[in-house]
Amino acid sequence: METVNITINGIACEAPKGSTILAAAKLAGIDIPTLCFLKDINEIGACRICMVEADEGRGARLVASCVYPVSEGMKVYTNTPKVLGYRKKTLELILSDHDKKCLSCVRSGKCELQALCQEMGVDDVDKYKGIANEFEIDDSAAHMVRDNNKCINCRRCIAACEKTQGIGVIGANNRGFITEVSSPFGMGLGETSCVSCGQCIAVCPVGAIYEKSDADKILEAIADPEKHVVVQTAPAVRAGLGEMFDLPIGTPVEGKMAAALRRIGFERVFDTDFGADVTIMEEANELLQRVTTGGVLPMITSCSPGWIKFCEHYYPDQLEHLSSCKSPQQMFGGILKTYYAEKMGWDPKSIVSVSVMPCTAKKFEIGRDDQSAAGEGIPDLDYTMTTRELGRLVKRCGIDFNALPDEGFDDPMGESTGAAVIFGVTGGVMEAALRTAVWKLTGETNDSPIEFKEVRGFEGIKEATYEAGGVKVKVAIASGLTNAKAIMDKIRAGEADYTFVEIMACPGGCINGGGQPQVPARVRNFEDYRAKRASVLYGYDESMPRRKSHENPSVQKLYSEFMGEPCGEKAHHILHTSYVKRTVHDINAWNAQ
């Protein structure tokens, strides 16, 4: 690698040619604060927090280190009074149009602006007090709230929406002081083709965007003796929740999570992984049916509600490719209010079905039509909360998370296999399906392969071809909706020869979901936090006694006692759903308001 010689604060160091000052400083062990900068997706040099002095032989001048490249002989100063004073002033100016209601802000304590103000020694939040904007709060979407009175116009959310997800329903509108991140023509987010993925929330440095929370309703239900409040937790939650309690990224916390949920007061602590194993039973059978009867191929997974909504808005002509399987969360809810209710002799209406998800799109999903297995007006899920919300709820309930013992899930819907836990990472649903499909195709022998490493990893699009029992299966995996778009365009054009495709809305899968703890820019720009979280799930997979979904004894029992055949009539009623065609812009609806 070609390098250049520079000095940083008088200390000589080498830096890769073409790298930014910010990256070079990081290599030399010096942190330069940033606010708008997000590696690869938002490199706009706009916020001016990362200013340093750089001398290229013409005297030192202030430059934005996040976008300014190093050059041979450059002298960089990151901590002169001029630099530090400039950063402080920039923060004071940002605060002049910020609502500063930290005490009641959901992000307080984890806010990047707050942390910077503290580090830069901001001692007067009203230094430049003047006219401030009073923006209307947008709570039109099912999953989130936007409060632009806290927005600092860093545009990270815009970049996540447009570049990572290929959607672009938010942008900077108007000009100058009244510039606002919003949707076109004053539409609320809920009136746009927003897919609820929450990647905007995941990258927001402040508390301007946050999920809607039903935590109070959940607590009230728990306090109601007439109700059976049952919780399920998605695979990825156990790989991220620890971060809410300052544990290192990649700390497995399944046992403490189960213990915490029990202490909050949930009557049963179950695992969405059970639902994931059932999903494989249904999805693998649906795939084999499509393959043998000449059905529509490729079949595409339907676990990710952000992806589903995306497909409905942008590829309404391709919906027949979607598996009719409900997501694991919804399957679980359906089974809970039918099978388990019957088993326990509970009235389904007395069950309050709650989930903890790494996902904000789940908040949209629970309100979808055709998601009420136990009957009209009895939704599979009553409430869902994000990993972040659970973290806050644990604190609110006065539970010392890090001191909790490891506990297990309750039976029978807490039992799961290694195939289910990897649902939380890109390629995981595919690998889980392959474990069962290949087992089936090769004569149901116990030594059929377990690991399919070709489908693992964080490339946006992965492809692999497998042959089993004389059947050739070509698969593709995409995560992040820009990547999904590339695959869908191929399918629409008739150029895809895949049998089975897995798509997850969030880049890297649910471990990087819009409901996971926010990873501050200073970490996410330099560390592979997704791989750390994924390693938790692969670690659980390896440690499980059973690693193929069809081996789950509780799932086997579910089918033999109650459900009948996978994809049978009862299974169809409880475990499958339908989709609706949506549009990208609905001018008529907008005009009718």
Site residues (vs other proteins, CB under 8 A): 135-136, 138, 148, 162, 167-175, 178, 180, 182-186, 188, 584-585, 587, 590-591, 593
Name the DSSP class of 384: E
> How far apart are CB 585 and other proteins at their closest, in Å?
5
Q: Which is nearer to other proteins, 135 or 540 (CB)?
A: 135
Using CA atoms, how far apart are residues 457 and 492, in angstroms rounded to an integer? 26
Q: Which is nearer to other proteins, 58 or 175 (CB)?
A: 175
Q: Please say whether the dihedral angle defined by the alpha carbons of residues 78, 80, 82 and 86, taken in this order, is positive or negative.
A: positive
> How far apart are CB 136 and other proteins at their closest, in Å?
4
Instruction: Enumerate the β-bridge partners of residue 325.
Output: 576
Q: 174: burial class by Cβ within 10 Å (0-12, 13-18, 19+)?
A: exposed
> How far apart are CB 403 and other proteins at their closest, in Å?
44
Q: Which is nearer to other proteins, 187 or 230 (CB)?
A: 187
> How far apart are CB 182 and other proteins at their closest, in Å?
5
- Give kind and range of the element (H or E) at residue 341: helix 341-344
Q: Which is nearer to other proteins, 136 or 527 (CB)?
A: 136
Using CA atoms, how far apart are residues 249 and 572, in angstroms rounded to an integer? 39
Those residues whose C-beta lies under 8 Å from the C-beta of residue 446, and which sit 6 or more positions away, are none
CA 234 and chain centroid, separation: 11
Instruction: Enumerate the β-bridge partners of residue 5.
Output: 14
> How far apart are CB 158 and other proteins at their closest, in Å?
9
CA atoms in the 13 A half-sphere facing the CB of 270:
26
Using CA atoms, how far apart are residues 433 and 287, in angstroms rounded to an integer? 10
> How far apart are CB 138 and other proteins at their closest, in Å?
6
Q: Which is nearer to other proteins, 191 or 211 (CB)?
A: 191
**What region, left, alpha or beta, does residue 54 occupy, with left being phi > 0 and alpha being psi -120 to 50 degrees?**
beta
Q: Which is nearer to other proteins, 562 or 590 (CB)?
A: 590
Structure tokens at 495: 């150029």
> How far apart are CB 66 and other proteins at their closest, in Å?
23
Among residues 396, 365, 381, which one has the least CA distance to residue 505?
365
> How far apart are CB 359 and other proteins at their closest, in Å?
23
Using CA atoms, how far apart are residues 209 and 54, in angstroms rounded to an integer? 35
> How far apart are CB 592 and other proteins at their closest, in Å?
11
Q: Which is nearer to other proteins, 11 or 172 (CB)?
A: 172
- Give kind and range of the element (H or E) at residue 83: helix 81-95
> How far apart are CB 183 and other proteins at their closest, in Å?
6
Q: Which is nearer to other proteins, 128 or 185 (CB)?
A: 185
Q: Which is nearer to other proteins, 197 or 299 (CB)?
A: 197
Q: Which is nearer to other proteins, 451 or 586 (CB)?
A: 586
Using CA atoms, how far apart are residues 551 and 537, in angstroms rounded to an integer? 19
Q: Which is nearer to other proteins, 136 or 565 (CB)?
A: 136
Using CA atoms, how far apart are residues 277 and 558, in angstroms rounded to an integer? 11
Using CA atoms, how far apart are residues 295 and 297, in angstroms rounded to an integer? 6
Among residues 418, 419, 438, which one has the least CA distance to residue 429?
419
> How far apart are CB 313 and other proteins at their closest, in Å?
12
Q: Are 356 and 387 in contact (CB under 8 A)?
A: yes
